[in-house]
C-alpha cells in the first residue's frame, strides 16, 4: 500500500507522530504494526511501527522514537514531511486486542512501547465504555509522557479506567515513587492476578514486569508482551572464534557461534528481507536443516513447516555447517 504523510506531530523531544492517508482501506486489529519500506540513499530499509491509531480514525497514525544512531528513525524524524509518500506492507503482528480477551486488562508500557497498548485501550473503551482497565505507563520525566492529554481525558471520561504514571525522575510521587516495583504495583493493582497483562517497552522493563506478575501469581497464559528490539544473542563470539559455514546457492558464508542467520546473510550481501527483526512478522522465513538450528521464535510457522526445516533467519543460530534456501 502507498501511504501519504498528512501531518507531522511532535509528541516529546524525541518522539513524533506521523499521520498518513492510505491509497487503500487498511484493516487492522488494535495492537498490530505496519512495516514501512524507507528508501534512504541507495538502500531501502524495512522497519515495523505499531499503529497508535484505531480502526475508524480518519488517518493512520505511527508514533516513532528517535533511536540514537538508528538509520530509519532518524531519517523519518528529520526528513519525513506532509506530502511525502512511503510504501508499507499490510498490518501484521500477534500482540493485539484479540489475545488480550474481553476480561479485565492490565496494560503496562514504557516509553514508545505505549503505541500498541494505547491503540488497544482507545478501541476497547470506544466499544465498551465501562471496561475494567488499569493502565500503568512509565516515562523518564513529565516532559517524556506520550499522549498525556488523551489519556487523562479518557480516564476522566471512563471511571473504570485507572491510569497511573511512573516517572523515572521521581517528580510525581503519587501514585508511584520513581520506579515500578512489586510493592507499589500490589498497592495500586491489588487484583492483578485476575487480569490479562499486555506489556510493551524495553526488554529490561518487560523482564522486570513479567517477574513481578509471576511472583504475584498471574498465570503465564495471561501475560503477553511485544519487543521492539531483538534480544541480544546470548553471546556472539569474536570474529576469530571457530564458526560454521552457510551455503546458499553455491555461495559460502561464515557464521559465528551466537550470530543469527539473518546477520550472516546481510553481512554477506545476500538478498534477505527482514521486516520486524524480532521473530514476529515471518518475512525472513528460510529453509534449512532443522537438526542444526536453534531458534528463539517460530512464530507464524506451522508444525509441518518446522518439520520441513523452515525457520526465521532473524531468530535462529546454527550448530553446524548448513545449506539453506532463501524464501522468494
- Whether the upstream peptide bond of residue 175 has omega within 30° of 0, thus cis, is yes
Kindly tell me which residue out of 54, 275, 318, 322 binds ligand FES, with binding defined by CB under 6 A. Answer: 275
Kindly tell me which residue out of 97, 124, 277, 292 binds ligand FES, with binding defined by CB under 6 A. Answer: 277
Kindly tell me which residue out of 17, 283, 316, 317 binds ligand FES, with binding defined by CB under 6 A. Answer: 283
Kindly tell me which residue out of 4, 8, 37, 71 binds ligand FAD, with binding defined by CB under 6 A. Answer: 71
| The entry of ligand FES, ligand FAD, none that residue 115 binds, CB within 5 to 8 Å by partner kind | ligand FAD
**What minimum distance in Å lies between the beta carbon of 278 and ligand FES?**
6
Does position 260 interact with ligand FES (CB under 6 A)? The reply is no
Nearer to ligand FAD, 28 or 33 (CB): 33
- On whether the CB atoms of residues 41 and 79 are closer than 8 A, the answer is no
How far is Cα 209 from Cα 216, in angstroms, rounded to an integer?
11
Q: Would strands 105-110 and 196-200 be described as parallel, antiparallel, or unpaired?
A: parallel
- On whether the CB atoms of residues 202 and 113 are closer than 8 A, the answer is yes
| The entry of ligand FES, ligand FAD, none that residue 324 binds, CB within 5 to 8 Å by partner kind | none
Does position 230 interact with ligand FES (CB under 6 A)? The reply is no
How far is Cα 134 from Cα 124, in angstroms, rounded to an integer?
12
For the record, the C-alpha cell of 134 comes out as: 488499569
Spell out, one character per residue from 179 to 218, where the chain touches ligand FAD: x when CB under 6 A holds, - when not. Answer: ----------------------------------------
> How many residues touch ligand FES (CB under 6 A)?
12
For the record, the C-alpha cell of 57 comes out as: 480514525
Angle at 99 between CA 87 and CA 86, to 5 degrees: 5
Nearer to ligand FES, 89 or 104 (CB): 89
| The entry of ligand FAD, ligand FES, none that residue 200 binds, CB within 5 to 8 Å by partner kind | none
Spell out, one character per residue from 280 to 309, where the chain touches ligand FAD: x when CB under 6 A holds, - when not. Answer: x-----------------------------
- Of 142, 76, 140, 146, nearest to 118 (Cα)? 146
Question: Which range in 2-10, 47-55, 216-224, 303-311 contacts ligand FAD by CB under 6 A?
Answer: 47-55
Kindly tell me which residue out of 24, 27, 42, 69 binds ligand FAD, with binding defined by CB under 6 A. Answer: 69
Note the residues at the interface with ligand FAD (CB under 6 A): 33, 47-50, 63-65, 67, 69-74, 93, 112, 115, 226, 228-229, 276, 278, 280
Note the residues at the interface with ligand FES (CB under 6 A): 274-277, 279-284, 312, 314
Amino acid at each position: 500500500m502507498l501511504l501519504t504523510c498528512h501531518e507531522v506531530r511532535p509528541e516529546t523531544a524525541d518522539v513524533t507522530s506521523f499521520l498518513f492517508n492510505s491509497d487503500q482501506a487498511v484493516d487492522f486489529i488494535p495492537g498490530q504494526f505496519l512495516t514501512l519500506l524507507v528508501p534512504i540513499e541507495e538502500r531501502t530499509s524495512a522497519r515495523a511501527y505499531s499503529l497508535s491509531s484505531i480502526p475508524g480514525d480518519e488517518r493512520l497514525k505511527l508514533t516513532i522514537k528517535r533511536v540514537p544512531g538508528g538509520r530509519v528513525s532518524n531519517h523519518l524524524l528529520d526528513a519525513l514531511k506532509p506530502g511525502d509518500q512511503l510504501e508499507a506492507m499490510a498490518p501484521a503482528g500477534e500482540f493485539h486486542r484479540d489475545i488480550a480477551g474481553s476480561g479485565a486488562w492490565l496494560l503496562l508500557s514504557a516509553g514508545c512501547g505505549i503505541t500498541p497498548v494505547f491503540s488497544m485501550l482507545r478501541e476497547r473503551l470506544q466499544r465498551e465504555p465501562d471496561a475494567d482497565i488499569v493502565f500503568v505507563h512509565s516515562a523518564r520525566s513529565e516532559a517524556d509522557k506520550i499522549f498525556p492529554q488523551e489519556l487523562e481525558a479518557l480516564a476522566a471520561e471512563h471511571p473504570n479506567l485507572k491510569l497511573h504514571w511512573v516517572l523515572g525522575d521521581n517528580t510525581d510521587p503519587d501514585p508511584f515513587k520513581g520506579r515500578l516495583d512489586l510493592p507499589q504495583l500490589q498497592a495500586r493493582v491489588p487484583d492483578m492476578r485476575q487480569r490479562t497483562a499486555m506489556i510493551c517497552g524495553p526488554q529490561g522493563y518487560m523482564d522486570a514486569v513479567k517477574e513481578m506478575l509471576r511472583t504475584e501469581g498471574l498465570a503465564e497464559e495471561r501475560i503477553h508482551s511485544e519487543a521492539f528490539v531483538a534480544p541480544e544473542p546470548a553471546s556472539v563470539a569474536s570474529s576469530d572464534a571457530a564458526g560454521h559455514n552457510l551455503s546458499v546457492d553455491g555461495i559460502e558464508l561464515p557464521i559465528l557461534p551466537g550470530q543469527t542467520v539473518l546477520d550472516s546473510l546481510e553481512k554477506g550481501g545476500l538478498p534477505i528481507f527482514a521486516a520486524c527483526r524480532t521473530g514476529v512478522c515471518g518475512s525472513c522465513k528460510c529453509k534449512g536443516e532443522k537438526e542444526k538450528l536453534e531458534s528463539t521464535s517460530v512464530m507464524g510457522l506451522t508444525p509441518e513447516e518446522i518439520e520441513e526445516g523452515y525457520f526465521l533467519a532473524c531468530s535462529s543460530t546454527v550448530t553446524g555447517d548448513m545449506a539453506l534456501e532463501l524464501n522468494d
